[in-house]
Amino acid sequence: MPITSNLIPKETKQYCENVSYEHQVASWLLKDGWEVYIPHVDHGAKNDVLISDGEYYYRIQVKSIDRHDECAVVKPMWEKHDNIDFVIYFSKKGQWGYIAPQFHKPRKLKHPEHERFHQNSTNFLKAFAKV
């Protein structure tokens, strides 16, 4: 059986982990029939995933949080003029996440406008359909 023996630099590991969440969102949305576009380079960009239903486009920012606490306060990482439609948060320590419409002031992750999901495609897609 293959065993990983090389040490990955901390920054590289962090980047790969972040990109894996973006690809997870993309694959779940592709499975649901969305057109999905991912920028080749998204470092510093506000959109991690762009989706379309054929008529409308939606811009998505994907974030991961290193917490168990669903009452954690999240801060917007964008300006009011940035065109972001949804922010999807993944917990690195739990099997849950939240889908939030764009917001402009810090708020609890467990905000009434946010939809919680378990980290599987069926539950994510049900939550995404509600926002």
102 touches 89 (CB < 8 A)? no
Pairing between β-strand 49-52 and β-strand 57-65 as defined by DSSP bridges: antiparallel
What are the residues facing 49 on neighbouring strands? 60
pLDDT tens-digit map of 35-49: 999 987 766 667 899
pLDDT tens-digit map of 15-74: 888 889 999 999 999 999 999 999 877 666 678 999 999 999 999 999 999 988 888 999
Q: Is residue 5 part of a domain?
A: no
Q: Is residue 86 part of a domain?
A: yes
- Number of independent structural domains in the chain: 1
Looking at residue 101, its pLDDT comes to 95
- Residue type at position 125: L
Whether this prediction's pTM lies above 0.85 is answered by yes
Q: Is residue 4 part of a domain?
A: no
The CATH number of whichever domain residue 87 belongs to comes to: 3.40.1350.10
